[in-house]
Each structure stands twice: as structure tokens, then as C-alpha cells.
Homo-oligomer: A and B are copies of this chain.
Amino acid sequence: MLWGGRFDKEINSVFLKFSSSIKFDIILLKYDLAVSKAHANMLGACGIISKNETSEIIKGLELIEERFYEGLWNPIDKNYEDIHSAVESYLTELIGEAAKKLHTARSRNDQVATGFRMWIKDAALRLSNLLLELQKTFLDLAGQHTRTIIPGYTHLQRAQPVSFAFHLLAYVEMFERDKTRLQNVFSQADVCPLGSGALAGTTLKIDRNMTARELGFSSVSANAMDSISDRDFVIDFLNSCTIGMMHLSRLSEELILWSSSEWNFIKIDDTLTTGSSLMPQKKNPDAAELIRGKFGRIQGSYVAVSSMMKGLPLSYNRDMQEDKEPAFDSFKTYSESLALMKDIFENIIINNERFIFEIEGDYMLATDIADWLVDHNIPFREAHNIVGKISRYAVENNTKLNDLTINELKDFCEVFDDSVLEILDINSSLDRKISFGAPNPRIVNEHIKSLKKSIEIESVNFNTKKNI
């Protein structure tokens, strides 16, 4: 315990187990060591501790890191309250007196907040990079499918023909927004609370800018009380994970539909599916199902942390210890899901021909006929009505649109002429869509090119913008 002076009984063991965070905050070890090093350096530079003490502390902290990674020190074995106590306690064991000066002018409140913000910054960067990698996979695949015609759906009803590339690019756009959202989280976490003390700063002459700089923060926080009781960055992080997983849940739903016998549009590689313990013929899209299901887990974490913060008076309350597991678990789940999606799409087999026959002359071209009528001076609402009636006639006669004769069409509207038949050619249907953002292969190819370019620039930036 770091706070025993006032107490004379042993802590209740159920309570210790209940309250100890070391089983999960060990993830912060790396950041805690960095925080302590920067703090020791600053204390030395400001003359609060001696140069000698500084260097002993630094060496001790480096030794701890070494021993931990070599498996020679396992803080979880001991009954520590948290990783911060564990480090200080082991440091005292290793270097003696000087260790007792490390906690000068700081509190666990600002120490934890600093380490956790560094973790969040790293997590945001790593997720961004996984999104960027997934975008590359999608763009490569899209490049091969700008003319692979599939039905575009609304209400899961076939609506208009699009290309598979176009469909994939919708997800690339979502991933783009996901990266922007994570960038905002990064910026928000990029404010250093170290030196805020328990809630009211300190009477000692410290240099907060120095520690912030050493730890890679862009600025220091302006109000100590807010600094140690702010967990907005965690909730914003969880919001980013929730929306990101929502996107993956939609993609998963599509993978599951496309893998069904009814759709029969893709095959997920055997290495990414499972069989059944009872039914020998099964090949199940489990990876997609699990990702879809795990959306709930991350959304639940958002609820957990936002509910935890509800109604807490200032400043720090122990409830806030519940901020970490949801963040750690969400990062793990979301990052693994992104990696798996990349594997799935890198090994996916597309049934290119699946819809060609069915789509030919399909009702999905009805909108284009309405546009043709508009081009021939029929007001849109009327054109819509005419083609609605044609569709119904075709359905009732169990025929496709391209089986209708010009005369049949003329019964619905006088202006029809042979040129309308070109509209019913599925192969040129994509090319006819000329508005910006449409599935026209030319537009789609340009979009792919421009996205690839911006992603390349980001990749370069990413490598230079790493956290500690």
C-alpha cells in the first residue's frame, strides 16, 4: 500500500481482490514507466531531487522494464493494488531511498490519467493504421470489380444495378470517417494532466511543460480538478469503437447473406470458416457472425463507462477505475475484427457471374426508363407512375422488362420509341449513370485512384507520428 500511515489494520482480503486493478492495468506498465522517467527527469531538472537520485531512479525504472520483458518480474503475482504501486514498490526494493522521492509532487490521480491518455493515443493510432490497411485491401479488390454488376439494394429489395467495386467503396468511405473520428480522439487525449496532483496542483516548483514535452503531448491541461476527473476521452474512444464496429457489423451481415445458398455470391476461405460438430456438410461464416455479435460488447462498454460517470461529484471518485477494462477490451475486439476482415477480403472468392443472367432486363432498370421519359419531356412524377404501371403489368404477366414489345410499352405511354430498348441493356447501365458519386466505372476508377493516393500520404505520416 502506498497510503498505509493512517491505517493500522490489514485490508479486508475480499475488498483487496475486488478493488485491485493490477490484473488489467498491467497493460499500462510501459506508459507508467515512461511517465515516471519523465517525472524524475523533471524533478531533477527543477532541483527538487538531486541529479544522482534522478539517475538512480531512471536506471531502476529501466531495470524494471527489462526484468518484466524477460519474465523475471511478474507484478500480478503480488497483492498490489495497481501497476503504479507495484512499480514504486519494486523500485524501492531495487534502489532503496531514492525511490521514495519519485512520488514527490504527483498523485496517482494525475499519474494514472497521464498513462491512460498515452495508451488511448497509441490505441487510436494503431486502429487508424488497421483501418488504412483494410482500405488498401478493399481498394485493390474494388479495382478488379468496377464492371462486376450486382444488384444494389434498398430495403433488401433489388433496386438498381451497381458494381461490386462501388459497393466496396461505400465501406471505404465509412473507414475514412472512422479514421477522422479516431484522429479527434487522439487530439483530445493529447493534453497532459501530469502535475495536477490529487486535484489542486502542488506547492513545489515543478515544470509541467517539460514532462509534457518528454511524453509527446502537445499541451498541458489548464485546471487541475478537471484534469484528474475528466474521462471524456475514454467515452469518445468508445464511441469511435462503437461506430466502427457498427460498420463492421453491417459488412458482416452482408458477408453472411452473400455466403448463403440463396445469395451464393461469395465463398469465404475455408481457413476462416468452421464446420459443425453434428452436420458434416456445413461451412459457416463464423468470423463474420462473431464480428457482428461483438458490436454489442463494444456498445455495452460505451454504456458502462458513460453510466459510471453519470452524476459523479467532482473530482476523482474510485468509480472511475471502471474506465479501463472497457477501453482495453474494446481495443482488442475492434483491432482483431479489423485484422480478420482484411484476411477475409484478401482470400475471398467472388462469384462474378452470379447476377448477370437474373439482372438482364430486370425491374431494377425501371428508374432508368423513368429517366428516359423525363428526357422525353414527361414530368418525373408522371413518368414514375407510368413505369410503375409497366412494372405491375410485367409482374402480373410474369415477364421481364426487356421481353416487353414497343407496342406493349406504347400502351402505357405514347412517346416510347425503339431507343428505349438500349436502356434495357444491363451492360451499359452503369455507364449511363453520370452524376458524381455514381457507380459509373469511370467515376469509380477515379475515386479509387484518388483514395489510393491520399492513403499513401497517410501511411507516410503515420510512420512519423508514432507515440512513445
Contacts and interface: CB of A to CB of B under 8 A. Distances in A.
Given A177-B188, A184-B184, A300-B301, A200 B384 contact: no
A301 B301 CA distance: 8
A73 interface: no
A246 B388 contact: no
Q: How many copies of the chain does the oligomer comprise?
A: 4
A199 interface: yes
Given A15-B272, A155-B286, A239-B236, A227 B310 contact: no
A151 to B, nearest CB: 7
12 contacts: A6-B391, A154-B228, A156-B257, A173-B226, A181-B232, A200-B433, A208-B436, A239-B239, A262-B263, A280-B385, A294-B308, A297-B326
Interface stretch (A27-35, A115-123, A372-380): A372-380
A363 B300 CA distance: 39
Given A309-B246, A433-B203, A303 B314 contact: no
A40 interface: no
A316 B154 contact: yes
Contacts of A259: 156-157
A299 B293 contact: no
A435 B199 contact: no
A100 interface: yes
Given A19-B287, A270-B7, A318 B204 contact: no
Given A282-B154, A307-B300, A388-B6, A160 B438 contact: no
Interface in A318-340: 318-322, 325-326, 336-337, 339-340
Contacts of A275: 1-7, 388
Contacts of A312: 250, 253
Given A7-B270, A280-B391, A299-B303, A340 B222 contact: no
A438 B225 CA distance: 8
Nearest to A183: B184
Q: Which among A188, A197, A280, A387 has the greatest number of chain B C-beta atoms within 10 A? A: A280
Contact of A368 (B15, B159, B172, B203): B203
A238 to B, nearest CB: 9
Contact of A289 (B270, B319, B364): B319
A273 to B, nearest CB: 8
B226 A236 contact: no
Interface in A377-403: 379-382, 384-392, 395
Contacts of A339: 14
Contact of A153 (B236, B313, B439): B313
A242 to B, nearest CB: 6
A316 B169 CA distance: 16
A3 B282 contact: yes
B447 A283 contact: no
A18 B274 CA distance: 13
Contacts of A468: none
Contact of A290 (B252, B305, B318): B318
A167 B296 contact: no
A152 B200 contact: yes
A287 B317 CA distance: 11
Contact of A379 (B97, B253, B320, B440): B97
B154 A198 contact: yes
Contacts of A316: 154-155
A367 B280 contact: yes
A72 interface: no
Contacts of A297: 304, 308, 322, 325-326
